[in-house]
A and B are shown apart, each in its own frame.
Chain A
Amino acid sequence: SQKIEQNSEALNIQEGKTATLTCNYTNYSPAYLQWYRQDPGRGPVFLLLIRENEKEKRKERLKVTFDTTLKQSLFHITASQPADSATYLCALETSGTYKYIFGTGTRLKVLA
């Protein structure tokens, strides 16, 4: 069956370090992969999209990689700040469906 896995355990890192979050999937052939940020009590907010033919995408302090062979995406936040503390969700859109499948999210806490 189709499955998306994100580390369910919270990730704690020190301010200024690089946070790396992982999204693994099985039995999918995603055309697009997205990362969202969700703060407590609020809806997810879109951060980055990467296509299956792209290896890497950057936006300010954020970087996403997409390895279709490993079936994995990595999400990096460089020079992390306490304000980056949130839950980060990955979402996959399978080819032609326009439907999104979300992972359960990883909670990131950046310690000052």
Chain B
Amino acid sequence: DAGITQSPRYKITETGRQVTLMCHQTWSHSYMFWYRQDLGHGLRLIYYSAAADITDKGEVPDGYVVSRSKTENFPLTLESATRSQTSVYFCASSDIIGGGASETQYFGPGTRLLVL
């Protein structure tokens, strides 16, 4: 099916383990984003990517690693999970239109991560 998908949808892990969250989009959008959503903080940008092999930090990048070898995939890795990384993670994609601004972001369904 076309769209943006995330996997897994739910994940429980332990402190110190490495976890990778997957994101896949079928639109060939240039931009992809990773956010985390926590009560009281709203959506906060972790990393984003303007194209394959181009990534940059967002507001809260510490403890996370991203890669983008293909346009359609943008995995997020927690190298050594901590309890503070318990959150809901959303992936999004967008394209650049007209005068150079992205018109909208399309969000995936989210991954609920619990770090014990």
Q: Which of A43, A46, A93, A104 contacts B42 (CB 8 A)?
A: A104
What string of 1s and 0s marks CB contacts (under 8 Å) between B78-116 and chain A? 000000000000101010100011111111111000000
The answer, yes or no, to whether A79 is at the interface (CB within 8 Å) is: no
Are A98 and B90 in contact, CB atoms less than 8 angstroms apart? no
A-B interface contact total, Cβ < 8 Å: 54
Which A residues are in CB contact (< 8 Å) with B41? 104
Are B42 and A103 in contact, CB atoms less than 8 angstroms apart? yes
Known: A98-B102, A99-B48, A100-B105. A42 touches B110 (CB 8 A): yes
What string of 1s and 0s marks CB contacts (under 8 Å) between A31-53 and chain B? 11010000001111110010000
Known: A42-B109, A43-B110, A98-B50. A93 touches B40 (CB 8 A): no
- Report how far A32 CA is from B97 CA in the complex, Å: 13
The answer, yes or no, to whether B31 is at the interface (CB within 8 Å) is: yes
The answer, yes or no, to whether B60 is at the interface (CB within 8 Å) is: no
The answer, yes or no, to whether A19 is at the interface (CB within 8 Å) is: no
Within 8 A of A (CB), among B27-54: 31, 33, 35, 40-45, 48, 50
Looking across the interface, which residue of chain A has its beta carbon closest to that of B39?
A104
Residue from the set A32, A93, A99 with the largest chain B CB neighbour count within 10 Å = A99
- Report how far A7 CA is from B102 CA in the complex, Å: 26
Known: A31-B101, A100-B33. A46 touches B45 (CB 8 A): no
Residues of B within 8 A of A (CB): 31, 33, 35, 40-45, 48, 50, 58-59, 90, 92, 94, 96, 100-110
What would 20 A/B residue contacts be, using CB atoms closer than 8 Å?
A: A31-B101, A34-B105, A42-B110, A43-B107, A43-B109, A44-B90, A46-B104, A46-B106, A49-B104, A89-B42, A91-B43, A98-B48, A98-B50, A98-B101, A98-B102, A99-B48, A102-B42, A103-B42, A104-B41, A105-B42
